[in-house]
Structure 1
């Protein structure tokens, strides 16, 4: 395990896991989660699916309820325990490990990584290995799906390194950017029972064209790119991307 992987494993500890679902409640809203599950279920077709960074099962459990056989890889044992304790959690096989290197048995029609998970890998080399690991798990013709934000640097004035992403009565969130090293740190400040709780998570932001090159290095070809799970067109003003790459069918060569 790399030093960065150890850092992230320590970051997603028991305390964070206990409050993760509540802190991410807006991601469970039907208008957010239902299109996500529908999109992935269609791409899985009749094959099994593998979720990288499966977390507490926000997506894996409703996808499993749709009849898709889902397995997961998760770095954090506390997060995995939360998943296993939920109704239906026993039907999702979770392997503890690094999504860039951990191999699980079998081939999958779909591998997916949602909610900016690719940015938790803090070097370009690790992100490339994540694509290669996805390709190793995919059956011929299988798809790799990523949901990730588009770097918001157009809104960053010269000399400024911080941008807020949420301002509320009980939560303040902002990102600080390291433009030279393509890194950012997300800062969260929450008011909990009259006290301020803080949480900081490091990320490596990544560009759409960079992801496509990583996919080509892994032998995958992009077939789709959308602005959201409802398949809105991706434009130069989109703040998120949903991208799909496919492993060539047996006997064919990448374009």
Structure 2
């Protein structure tokens, strides 16, 4: 459920905001157009939003500034603390993950996440999508921005490129986590009652917009 990466999240909590703003060369391409990616997720979202993987609160902050009601879920205590330092008591961020989380006290119309869904195995991803399909009414949406690849060959090529550039942390991350391919994701969303589109946002990240049919 992604919680096997909690030790990593604790480390990332201290450097995440610097990385997303281009201060870590290894991850510069991963976070290219970061603000535009978050803004697009906000634009695609409805009024009552459930956000998984709040992290340090960057997307949450943009959602709130756009007047949306946000229910935040974040499994990492250090990440929640960073988000609290940024957002104060403007939003409640609760302990939970993509598969086990406290339910909001009102119906939601959008489920969002950025840079986090790849922490689930493919089996867990499908479990999550199935669960969200039961939560959302017709027209409800899942809007994820996350690293994915056109096929396994494209993934393997990115690992080779990272190694050739000496980006050993990036290469290890790519091999350690569960990065999906677009055909697998499309099959999952379709199976559980969603129409889905994929739009590339940078060399790594795709915007996934799935609408409940």
Aligning the two structures, in what range does the TM-score lie when normalised by the shorter sequence? 0.7 to 0.9
- Per the normalisation by structure 1, the TM-score is 0.67
How far does residue 84 in structure 1 lie from its aligned partner after superposition?
0.9
- Residue in 2 that maps onto 1:242: 207
Q: Normalized per residue, which structure has more helix? A: 2
Counterparts of 1:155 and 1:69, CA distance in 2: 36
How far does residue 76 in structure 1 lie from its aligned partner after superposition?
0.6
**1:49-198 counterparts in 2 under 5 A?**
49-86=49-86, 88-105=87-104, 106-115=106-115, 117-121=116-120, 123-151=121-149, 153-154=153-154, 156=156, 162-164=160-162, 173-175=169-171, 185-186=172-173
Aligned residues: 203
**1:13-52 counterparts in 2 under 5 A?**
13=10, 15-26=11-22, 31-33=33-35, 35-45=36-46, 47-52=47-52
How far does residue 64 in structure 1 lie from its aligned partner after superposition?
0.9
Task: Describe the shift of the 1:11–1:141 C-alpha distance in structure 2 as closer, same or farther (beyond 3 A).
Answer: same
CA contact (8 A) 2:20 2:34 kept: no
1:116-155 deviations in Å (ceiling 9; x for gaps): x11111x222111221233344343111012223337348
CA contact (8 A) 2:110 2:141 kept: yes
Runs of 4+ displaced beyond 4 Å = 165-168
Unpaired segments ≥5 residues, structure 2: 23-27
CA contact (8 A) 1:165 1:173 kept: no
Task: Describe the shift of the 1:111–1:6 C-alpha distance in structure 2 as closer, same or farther (beyond 3 A).
Answer: closer
Report whether the alignment pairs 1:12 with 2:12. Answer: no
CA contact (8 A) 2:112 2:144 kept: yes
Unpaired segments ≥5 residues, structure 1: 176-184, 188-200, 230-237, 249-255
- Per the normalisation by structure 2, the TM-score is 0.79
Higher gyration radius (CA): 1
Counterparts of 1:6 and 1:52, CA distance in 2: 13
CA contact (8 A) 1:141 1:246 kept: yes
Task: Describe the shift of the 1:166–1:99 C-alpha distance in structure 2 as closer, same or farther (beyond 3 A).
Answer: farther
How far does residue 80 in structure 1 lie from its aligned partner after superposition?
0.8
How far does residue 162 in structure 1 lie from its aligned partner after superposition?
4.1
